[in-house]
Amino acid sequence: MRLLTILLCLFVSFNAYSQNKFQRVKRSTRGIRIKRTITVLPQHANLAYTLASRRALLVEAKVERTIAHVTAEYKQPVDRPYKIAGGYNYLKMIGKAFKKRPEWRFAGESGIGGYNGAHHIVTQTAITEIAKELDIADPVAMKANAPAVYSLLHNHPLYSDLFHDHQTILNTYHKRGVYGVVTDFFTRLNEVNKRLGIPLYDEKFIELELLEAELWAKHWGIKWK
């Protein structure tokens, strides 16, 4: 029992580290240069390195016995919100950095024509329930790093079920994990986008979002598939 208590304390203290830390290194008219530090357990270092390498100019990994740090520097060009993939904290940071750009004018606006901010693909309510089920002590940090997206249909009254049907999301999670939630979300969202003539999320975007989601799920010990 004493050993179990020690291991549990180690797991809780480890997850007190920020899974992702972002620092703006340089700004230009064409975008910003970002330093990202990913902190994970050693068994997830390869996945973190793979994810960082998809974006980065420079990637370094330091793997110790109980912890791994992967650092990367990359450029984030100015683009429309729906074209930028990442976790919630990353999208929120980009929104602040680009808030004066015409492309980001309505990123935080609600109602038709606005993005209503970045959307948690696994909703905050669903994350809270998953954290309770698994007795995870820090759902706030889970939510901060969770996979997210900007969508012009977010908060549109006709499509609220697509974004905020918490029970369906939980059911999908229990059957097919976070992978199922993310792939189902983009399949249904792209169907609506195609019908309405809204640009689709392409395969490259979805693949990057899935890598972010996989690292998030495995870092927090929740079901991936």
Question: 147-193, pLDDT tens digit by residue?
Answer: 999 999 998 889 999 999 999 999 999 999 999 999 999 999 999 99
Is residue 166 in a domain? Answer: yes
Is residue 78 in a domain? Answer: yes
Q: Does the CA dihedral 105-109-185-86 come out positive or negative?
A: positive
**Token pair belonging to 60:** 């370094």
Is residue 16 in a domain? Answer: yes
Residue 142: which domain range? 2-220
Look at residue 191 in the predicted model and tell me its pLDDT.
Answer: 98
| Segments in 15-123 forming alpha helices (H) | 45-53, 88-97
Is residue 13 in a domain? Answer: yes
- Does the reported pTM lie above 0.75? yes
Q: How confident is the model at residue 57 (pLDDT cuts 50, 70, 90)?
A: confident
Is residue 172 in a domain? Answer: yes
Is residue 225 in a domain? Answer: no
Buried/exposed code over 139-150 (b: 16+ C-beta within 10 A; e: otherwise): bebbbbbbbbbb
Q: What is the pLDDT of residues 129-153, one digit of tens each?
A: 999 999 998 999 999 999 999 999 9
Nearby residues of 224 by Cβ (< 8 Å), 6 or more positions away: 177, 178, 179, 214, 217, 218
Number of folded domains in the chain? 1
